Structures are given as structure tokens and as C-alpha cells.
Amino acid sequence: MNAASAPSKLYSDDVSLIVVLLDANPFFWASSAAAAGDSASSHHPTTTLPFSKLLNHVIPLLNSLLLLNQLNQVVLVATGVNSCGYIYDSGDGGGGSACGSVPAICSEILRRLEEFVVKDRLQGKSPDKVVATGVSSLLSGSLSLALCYIQRVFRSRARHPQPRILCLQGSPDGPEQYVAVMNAIFSAQRSMIPIDSCVMGVQHSAFLQQASYITGGVYLKPQQLDGLFQYLSAVFATDLQSRNFLQLPKPAGVDFRASCFCHKKTIDMGYVCSVCLSIFCKHHKKCSTCGSDFSQGPTDANASSDRKRKTSEVQP
């Protein structure tokens, strides 16, 4: 069973593989840009920034990660609304023509990102229109891609760089992804891959709080997005060895309480169906998700007619 997790942990000293998951959700960044315009006029501290400004912070981060160690590897994955995709891989085509020169990398990233955004939009157009407000990005998809990539690095060499994942997330969590995101988190935990997260949205991300807590990564929600690069380089740029010597942001109190399926209330105590592990806040006669009968005595548990259940409501 654990054949899939990394068999040997022979890390090269100080060499890191950083997979950066960049949230490229147009709905979020559009609203963010609009809000930034408003706040600039009313002299509020900037808590939002537009996507182009974000790239001004992120691309220098990628470059500085590469500069920290010659052997460091950076992979950029874009998290879109309708798709996810690899944007840039510093280990890819190492002998390329303009590889290593900073302007070449920048233009490469910008070009691929533009292609991605256009493709992402086109994919969203074909099915029924999605509602524009509060659309979440496909975090589960990009996390899965990142983990697959890291497994490949584990396989390829006996001594491999120490991997970590950095999520730059803006858009709110998508409750329908809960199970998939949790699966990815547990898989990262098994392979000892920390998931760092930097949340630029208005609210905290419960998914990423849990991800960082469970995998031993750093969770950060910057106060001032103007100085984002400062945060990124101070907190997320250092390799895992050096982290032991730094005063990094303390893990925030993560709320591991569950919310019930029936009223979506956060509960301290509740009832859990022994068959499908659905959570209820009070005793029911019948499980609303798997249809099991909870009357006394041995019951015909096969009566579950509908095993498809909404996995979305498990959100804590």
C-alpha cells in the first residue's frame, strides 16, 4: 500500500524543489482589482491587489528561489476556474537557449500564463454559464498535479531535492472540493511534503489552514499586500533546513470541529452514521445520505438505495 509513497528519504542538502500553485481565478482578481481601486481613493490600507501587481511580487520570488541555490528547482502550476496547468518548470529543457536569463524566464512565464488564462476562459464557456460571484478555483486539481510531479522527482533519483508546495491562494474555498483536497493533504502528509500557504483573499482559507497544519507547513495571511514580496521572501523562500532557525508565523488555531449535514451548524457533539460517516446534530431515524435505518436491532443495511452522497457538506 505504501509503495506509492516515497520509499527512501535521501535528500540532497539544501536543494529544494518548490511547486508554486498560483491562483489564476479571473473572478477573484477582477473583484480584487476593483476593490484596490476603491481603497486607493479612500486612503485605506491596501488589503487587495490586482493580478498584474501580484505577478510583480511572484516572479521575483521565483527568481530568488532559483538564485538561492544553483540546483533549486521551481515549478509553477496555475490554478484556474475550469482547469489547471503547468506553466513553468525550471528543470525542464535545462540546456535551452535563453535559460537562466531572467528576462527570458519572465516573458516565458507571462506568455504561458496568458495562454492558460485564455484557454481556461474558453473551457468555461462551452458548458452552462457559471455564476460569477464567489467562484472558487480548482485547488484540488493543482494540488494533485503538484503531488504527482513530486512523486516523479522521488522516483527519478536516489538523491532528490527536498520538495515543498507553496499555495498562493486568493479565491474562497470550494466546498465541493473538500474530500479531494483532504485526500491530497493526507497524501502529502504521508510523503512528508509540507504545504505552505499564503492567502491573499479577504477570508481565511479553512482548507489551507488544515493543509499547512497537517503537513507541517506555514500558513500566512499577509496584512499588507503591498509588501507581498517581503512576506514571500522572508517566510517562504528559505529551505526546510533553515526553517528550524527562523521565527516563522505560529500555526493558527485550526478549528477541527465538524459541521452537521442537516443544518450546517458547527457542532461539538453529534451523531455519526456508522455506515457512511455522515454527521448529524441530532438523532435521526434514517440516514439521509446512505439510507441506513437506525431503528434498533440488526437492520438490512443493504437498503441503501442511494449511496451517492453529497460530499460537499463535510466541511468543518
Partner 1 sequence: MSGSVEVQRRFDHAGMGEEATRRRRRGGEEDDEEEEDEDERGMEAWERAYADERSWEDLQEDESGLLRPIDTKTLVHAQYRRRLLQKSAASAASRIQKGLIRYLYLVVDLSRAASETDYRPSRMVAVAKCAEAFIREFFDQNPLSHIGLVTIKDGVAHRLTDIGGSPESQIKALMGKLECSGDASLQNALELIHGYLSQIPSYGHREVLILYSARNTCDPGDIMETIKNCKNAKIRCSVIGLSAEIFICKHLCEETGGSYTVALDESHFKELLLEHAPPPPAIAEYAAANLIKMGFPQRGAEGVIAICSCHKDVKIGGGYTCPRCKARVCELPAECRICGLTLVSSPHLARSYHHLFPVTPFNEVSSVVPFKLSQKLAQTCYGCQQSLLSHGSKPAPHVSCPKCNQRFCLDCDIYIHESLHNCPGCESHRGSTT
Residue 153 and residue 119 in contact, taking contact as beta carbons nearer than 8 Å: no
We find the least distance from the C-beta atom of residue 3 to partner 1, in angstroms, to be 7
Asked if residue 288 binds partner 1 (CB under 8 A), the reply is no
We find the least distance from the C-beta atom of residue 191 to partner 1, in angstroms, to be 8
Residue from 148, 142, 153 nearest 116 by CA: 142
And the C-alpha cell for 74? 521551481
**What amino acid occupies position 141?**
G
Residues 86-105 that bind partner 1 (CB under 8 A): 86, 89, 92
Exactly one of 46, 176, 204, 238 binds partner 1 (CB under 8 A); that residue is 176
Exactly one of 82, 162, 205, 215 binds partner 1 (CB under 8 A); that residue is 82
Whole-number Å distance between alpha carbons of 286 and 292: 6
Asked if residue 210 binds partner 1 (CB under 8 A), the reply is yes
We find the least distance from the C-beta atom of residue 78 to partner 1, in angstroms, to be 10
Exactly one of 46, 47, 69, 144 binds partner 1 (CB under 8 A); that residue is 144
Exactly one of 61, 258, 261, 313 binds partner 1 (CB under 8 A); that residue is 258
Distance in angstroms between the alpha carbons of the first and the last residue of the chain: 28
Residues in contact with partner 1, counted by CB under 8 A, come to a total of: 81
Exactly one of 67, 179, 234, 246 binds partner 1 (CB under 8 A); that residue is 179
Long-range contacts of 254-260 (CB under 8 A, 24+ apart): 254/209, 254/210, 254/213, 255/206, 255/316, 256/210, 256/316, 257/316, 258/314, 258/316, 259/313, 259/315, 259/316
Instruction: Select from 57-65, 222-230, 232-240, 265-273 the region that touches partner 1 (CB under 8 A).
Output: 265-273
Exactly one of 16, 31, 72, 140 binds partner 1 (CB under 8 A); that residue is 140
Q: Give the full edge-to-edge strand order of the sheet including 73-79.
A: 73-79, 11-23, 160-169, 195-199, 219-220
Asked if residue 254 binds partner 1 (CB under 8 A), the reply is yes
Residues 107-126 that bind partner 1 (CB under 8 A): 123-124
Exactly one of 186, 224, 263, 264 binds partner 1 (CB under 8 A); that residue is 186
We find the least distance from the C-beta atom of residue 272 to partner 1, in angstroms, to be 5
* SS3 category, 50: coil
Residue 141 and residue 209 in contact, taking contact as beta carbons nearer than 8 Å: no
Tallying the residues shown for the chain, one arrives at 316
Residue 267 and residue 258 in contact, taking contact as beta carbons nearer than 8 Å: yes
Whole-number Å distance between alpha carbons of 223 and 209: 16
Residues 52-81 that bind partner 1 (CB under 8 A): 81
We find the least distance from the C-beta atom of residue 276 to partner 1, in angstroms, to be 6
Instruction: Select from 8-16, 48-56, 192-200, 252-260 the region that touches partner 1 (CB under 8 A).
Output: 252-260
Instruction: Select from 22-30, 164-172, 195-203, 275-283 the region that touches partner 1 (CB under 8 A).
Output: 275-283
Asked if residue 252 binds partner 1 (CB under 8 A), the reply is no
Residue 302 is given by DSSP the state G
Asked if residue 138 binds partner 1 (CB under 8 A), the reply is yes
Return the residue matching grid coordinates 541555490. 69
- Which residues touch 89 (CB under 8 Å, ≥6 apart)? 73, 74, 75, 76
Asked if residue 301 binds partner 1 (CB under 8 A), the reply is yes
> Whose Cβ is closer to partner 1: residue 67's or residue 179's?
179
Asked if residue 177 binds partner 1 (CB under 8 A), the reply is yes
